[in-house]
Every structure is written in C-alpha cells, then in structure tokens.
Structure 1
Amino acid sequence: MVNKRIYHICRIDEWAAAEAEGRYLGSSQDRADGFIHFSRAEQVEASAAKHRAGQDNLVLIAVDPARLGDALKWEPSRGGHLFPHLYGPLPLTAVIRTWPLHLDAEERHLFPEAY
C-alpha cells in the first residue's frame, strides 16, 4: 500500500481519554472486532455515513501509517476494498492531526476542507 494518511473517527470523550492515557485502545466496536478500524481518505466519508450516521461530537483523526509498524494490516472489507486495520493500541505519536467532526442541519458530517 502507498504510505499516505489513514483516518479514524471516534467520540470526543474516547479521544480525551486516549490523550490522558497516551494511547488509544479503540472504540467498543473496535475492541469487539479485535482491531482499530481505519479508512483511507477516499473511504472515510462513506465510513462515517455508514457507521456513525447521526452521531455528533466526533473527532476525525489523521494517522501516519508508517509509524504503526507490522500491527497495521490492509484487509478486504466493504465491497472487497482494502481497509487498514490496526491490531493493537494506537500510539499518539502516530497521530498527525485531529479535527472536530460535527453534523450539519441534515445530520451529515461536516468534514474539514483539507484533511
């Protein structure tokens, strides 16, 4: 896979806990699945619409996949497309940037212009 940013979306409170602890263990769904779900830039908006529809007060997290080592696996998922899955905690040192992710009047997520 090309070494570009990957993205994860979680609740603001989950991210605040991760910042306090120094690592992110994933959402309850991630932990149930055994890995942290990520998306490429061209996948993240569809992922948000499918898995986080109507949810407000979220955080969009940009991560450098090169900082994740062998714990990051690219596996087929929705539509047979490859998605990045992290088998282990997300170290905060791999995080490039975060943005708040809120809803518009139609309850669609408002993504930053350039992410």
Structure 2
Amino acid sequence: MMIYKIFRKPEWDALRAAGTTAGAPVDVADGYIHFSTIGQAAETAAKHFAGEDDLMLLGVEAAPLGDDLRWEPSRGGALFPHLYRELRLDDVAWAQPLPLKDGVHHFPQDAE
C-alpha cells in the first residue's frame, strides 16, 4: 500500500541533500511524520496547505516501514499513517510536483 507525504519544496530539497529528515515543523513538534492515504491526501492538502504552491507529493510504500509505521486516529477519527522514525530518502518510491491550479491542488493520476 502506498502512503503519501506532502512536503514544501525546501523540505523535499533538504531530504534529498541529507538523505534523512525528521519531517516538516509540524512533524518535529508532534514527534512523528504525518502521512495520508490517497483518500485522505486531498483533504490534507486543502486543510494544511491551502493556497500553497511549490509542493511535492511523495509516495512511500507502507509495508517496508514495518513497526515504525502506526495507524492512529486523527481528523474525524479516521486512521492516519504516522511514521515514528526519520524518513529516509530510500523510503521514497517517487516524488512529483503537486501543482496548485485555480486554488486546488491537482494530484497525479497515477497516485493511487
């Protein structure tokens, strides 16, 4: 199963440069890296990245993350994937721009 992380371009650039990251400021503050399923990603983008351009959508396979990935209740009681370790560049299956058009983030069609 693929899970998804939205990063601002500088956060993605930092991961590429360092090879690991503790995540965005919200991830560091919460003590884990927030991910979404494909069904949750659009609402995550709208809620936490409204109006922001220059975003990257990262696809990460959930299974290899093992016990470091936990599914926990969040928005509306839905279970969200949370990673309790640094994200490694090697964990990222792919990364694509998440363009903003007419105020809405447009997800790649193959992100499912």
Fold match (TM-score > 0.5): yes
Alignment match, 2:30: 33
Q: Hey, what's the Cα distance between the residues in 2 that align with 1:67 and 1:90? A: 12
- Secondary structure of the 2:105 match is coil
Could you tell me how far 1:49 is from its partner in structure 2?
0.5
The Cα RMSD (Å) is: 0.9
Could you tell me how far 1:110 is from its partner in structure 2?
1.5
Alignment match, 2:109: 113
Which consecutive aligned stretches of 4+ in structure 1 deviate over 6 angstroms post-superposition? none
Alignment match, 2:51: 54
Is the contact between residue 18 and residue 25 of structure 1 (CA under 8 Å) also seen in structure 2? no
| Larger proportion of strand | 2
Alignment match, 2:14: 17
Corresponding residue to 2:4 among 1, 4, 7 = 7
Matches within 5 A, 1:90-105: 90-104=87-101
Normalization by structure 1: what TM-score?
A: 0.92
Unaligned runs of 5+ in 2: none
Could you tell me how far 1:84 is from its partner in structure 2?
0.2
Between Structure 1 and Structure 2, how many residues are aligned?
A: 111
Normalization by structure 2: what TM-score?
A: 0.94
Q: Hey, what's the Cα distance between the residues in 2 that align with 1:13 and 1:67? A: 26
Q: Give the counterpart letter for 1:74 in structure 2.
A: W
Alignment match, 1:76: 73
